[in-house]
Structure 1
Amino acid sequence: MKNKSRGLHTVYTINVLSGRNHMSSIALFPCLSTLDSGIIGELSSILTLKVYTDENLFGDTVARFGGDPERLKKMMYSRTSVFNQFTLEKEKAVNMFRMVLADKLAAPEQYLFHGFLTSLIPAEVTEVLRVLVVDKKEGRIDRAIKMGLSKGEAKKKIRNHDISAFSWTDFLFAKEAYDSSLYDLVVPVEAKDHREVTKEILSCFHRTSVLRTPESQSAVKDMKMVAEIENLLLAHGHKLGIKAKEGNVTLVIQNSVLNFNGLKQDLTDLIRQIPGIKEITIEKHKSYVETVYRQQKFELPSKVLFVDDEREFVQTVSQRLISRDVGTYGVYDGQQALDLIAEDCPEVMVLDLKMPGLHGIEVLRQAKEIAPNIEVIILTGHGTTKDMEECMKLGAFAYMNKPVNIEELSATIKAANDKVHAMQKKASVA
């Protein structure tokens, strides 16, 4: 069999090496309705691979770190929250996934990884063949209909899957999910059945370059070190690019820093505590962004929704709050606010009472129905005593008049945030 370099998407003649233990694995990224179940069955049976899915990863992550598996699923499958720039929740979830997955890759077992988790396996781990089985949308829809779905249901299910997949790979790589550069082998289904597709994957798998080697296991160790460093940095509110090779670590800062040398020293002192680190290099990204680098302070409000139809007011106040480490996102009408509450669950909402469309009182009422634990601060320039009484009756946290004092608003938001977190802590203990 010819030994081709990784990354060539081609068909290989099968070369079944009888009795030879590859100590290698396969990672199959899902493209809904492309014969995945049949391929998984064939590959796991022929190669005696242990199937490991996203669900397995969620379970192992909860067992190791605690938490809610449904929240982990949301981090993987849902779009990135508008508040994530302040909370770093998705980065933290992905980091936990990487730490669990690195241990799996270091173990002697051979796996058939299947799911979005396959995107977390670095290309440098060459003992894992990263595979995408893909087809045109029409073929996927026809296949889903044959499995019992209506045409409308098939289109909706495939569309939702693709949205999740594209959101995931966009977050990780700023690339589309079915970009061939993310895989070692791309197999178009076309008219093939699952056995023919499996044959193509097997022929590529039985290559010398997919064997477990010292270099590949060194890459697994590098992956584990990067995950450990990332875990420590995220816990201290730092989001950075991280590279590691045989104990030599490079941290990459993307945003401008007022005191680069001071931050450099802080980061060096922080990660020195991780065993195995030899040299530490801290550099600026080639596209160094001229916005101020911020170390996130997780004890401060980070999921605040600001609702007002005056755009300039929202933008100005939001920026002033962010400068006070209050993570704020603005929308400009009541319906936008309700849609975001249903999807993203802010913890505190600052709400203008008088807006076109839905009145602030109605927004407050519906918001409390959607998310009973959200704390709402009412802002108004034209409110009445009756309005205030009705708002407080509906569960508003505070009622404030415009023009608002930014320090007073910031303190009120922090008090509301403290109440939310106290209730969350009480609920977790119960």
Structure 2
Amino acid sequence: MSVVSVFSGAFCRADEFIDHLRGETGYRLIDDEMIVTRARELSALPEETLKRVFSARTSVFNPFTRERERAQIWLKLAVAEYFQEAGLLLHGVTSHLIPVSIPHVLRVCLIADAAHRIAAAAAQLGIEAAKAAERIQELDHDRAAWVQAVHSASDPWDATLYDILLPAHKLEPPAAAALVRRHLAAKAVQVSNRTRRAAGDFLTAARIQAALAAEGHFIGVSVEADAAVLTIDRPVLMQERLEEELTAIVRGAAEVARVEVRVKPAAKAAAAYSRHDATRMSRVLLVDDEREFVQTLSERLGMRDIGSATAFDGESALELLREEEPEVMLLDLRMPGIDGMEVLKRVKADHPEIEVVILTGHGTDVDRKKCMELGAFAYLEKPVDIDVLSETLKKANEKMRANRRRQTGKEA
């Protein structure tokens, strides 16, 4: 039996369509929630981390954590596992993770025009049309970012990405489902030995990619004629040694006849390929109103394998905490608006797990005492030796992670 993948816009009566399509086909429904659950089981990544990849917004710490790339890889493996079954109906954004090279998939997009979607959103949410339009725009932005990440296509409704583009404002759900059912009879989407091999190759490639990511290697993987093809898009130093390491990981993850490493031509300014170290300190938030100082400090810490993001005032730092999860904060005291003392007080009240290191050029003994009473990990004064600062930050990070491990153990 063929597979149907459905990608839909918000407020396009997708649930009604899916219900009718299941009735027409008898196919088993696999949705994004099921994919996330399976990916969580496979990877041990938190559910919120996996779901965050569906949002257009990327964490400021992602260049150091590679969290987004890791989540997408495990979601792909979950899709690949389910995909080995026959008679599947995959509905959601994760349906785009099925490789376009697999023929026995009928790819469906369900979308309505703006007027119908706005009217539906306004009615369902009980809001004015203008607010409904804004909400739809936000959701479409998320879908566009996802499709861009998976296919490098800017338009999530681009007809070339699908076999059928269903206009939900013209077709009632029963008629749309019946149309899809008729297209499933097409010879082009029938299962054959060749398509079964392609599905198996999809799973093998996904397993290899997950194994490589677990070891810090984020590279492209495909399986071609029983060979694992690894594609690197950066200049490679000591390629022979890297190929040996990658080959060993691949052999441990899957049975393939051979491993081929391809290095794509890269821009001369591109940084050399390097393995990502998941143990490195990668979630430090630097808060200081002296922009040049804090930007330079961030660069110097980066040279010591400490990944950091910056905020230039207390209000921005607190705003960032609503969406980000820093492990350590380096905080100045004297800042316009909300000063460092108040930021420290709020952080320890609302996010007690974050370790805060004070770094100030205008502090007093009274300030030091008060900061430590409020829960600061350490109190340093400018100018500070970069090695002393780095060591202090690392100790704060070690404490934070140890506390988190203990808390996780209690919850388990």
- The answer to whether TM tops 0.5 is yes
Contact 1:222–1:246 under 8 Å retained in 2: no
Distance 1:291 1:66, change over 3 A: closer
Matched, 1:368 2:345: no
Matched, 1:321 2:314: no
The letter of the residue matching 2:110 is: V
Distance 1:169 1:372, change over 3 A: farther
TM-score by length of 1: 0.87
| Counterpart position of 1:133 | 110
User: Which stretches in structure 2 are left out of the alignment for 5+ residues?
Assistant: none
Matched, 1:265 2:244: yes
Distance 1:111 1:83, change over 3 A: same
Q: What's the offset of the Cα at 1:275?
A: 3.2
| Counterpart position of 1:219 | 198
| Counterpart position of 1:31 | 9
| Counterpart position of 1:43 | 21
Name which of structure 1's ranges 383-392 and 362-371 shifts more when overlaid on structure 2. Answer: 362-371
Q: What's the offset of the Cα at 1:75?
A: 3.6
Matched, 1:184 2:163: yes
| Counterpart position of 1:255 | 234
Contact 2:50–2:75 under 8 Å retained in 1: no
Name which of structure 1's ranges 212-221 and 406-415 shifts more when overlaid on structure 2. Answer: 212-221
The letter of the residue matching 1:407 is: D
The letter of the residue matching 1:128 is: V
Contact 2:235–2:265 under 8 Å retained in 1: no
In structure 2, distance between residues paired with 1:66 and 1:197: 38
Aligned-residue identity in percent: 33
Cα shift readout 1:78-103 (whole Å, capped 9, x = no counterpart): 63222122222222222222222212
Name which of structure 1's ranges 144-153 and 383-392 shifts more when overlaid on structure 2. Answer: 144-153
Contact 1:297–1:325 under 8 Å retained in 2: no
The letter of the residue matching 1:161 is: L
Measured on the aligned residues, the alpha-carbon RMSD in Å equals: 2.2
In structure 2, distance between residues paired with 1:49 and 1:325: 49
Name which of structure 1's ranges 69-78 and 293-302 shifts more when overlaid on structure 2. Answer: 69-78
| Counterpart position of 1:285 | 264
Contact 1:99–1:228 under 8 Å retained in 2: yes
In structure 2, distance between residues paired with 1:163 and 1:137: 14
Match of 2:328 among 323, 348, 353: 348
Which SS does the other structure have where 1:34 is aligned? coil
Distance 1:153 1:49, change over 3 A: farther
| Counterpart position of 2:280 | 300
Cα shift readout 1:294-338 (whole Å, capped 9, x = no counterpart): 322222211111222233222222222222221212232222221
Contact 1:254–1:284 under 8 Å retained in 2: yes
User: Which stretches in structure 1 are left out of the alignment for 5+ residues?
Assistant: 1-22
| Counterpart position of 1:18 | none
Name which of structure 1's ranges 63-72 and 320-329 shifts more when overlaid on structure 2. Answer: 63-72
Distance 1:66 1:399, change over 3 A: same
| Counterpart position of 1:113 | 90
Name which of structure 1's ranges 29-38 and 281-290 shifts more when overlaid on structure 2. Answer: 281-290
The letter of the residue matching 1:130 is: R
In structure 2, distance between residues paired with 1:399 and 1:153: 47
The letter of the residue matching 2:88 is: Y
Distance 1:367 1:159, change over 3 A: farther
In structure 1, distance between residues paired with 2:235 and 2:342: 43
| Counterpart position of 1:20 | none
| Counterpart position of 1:159 | 137
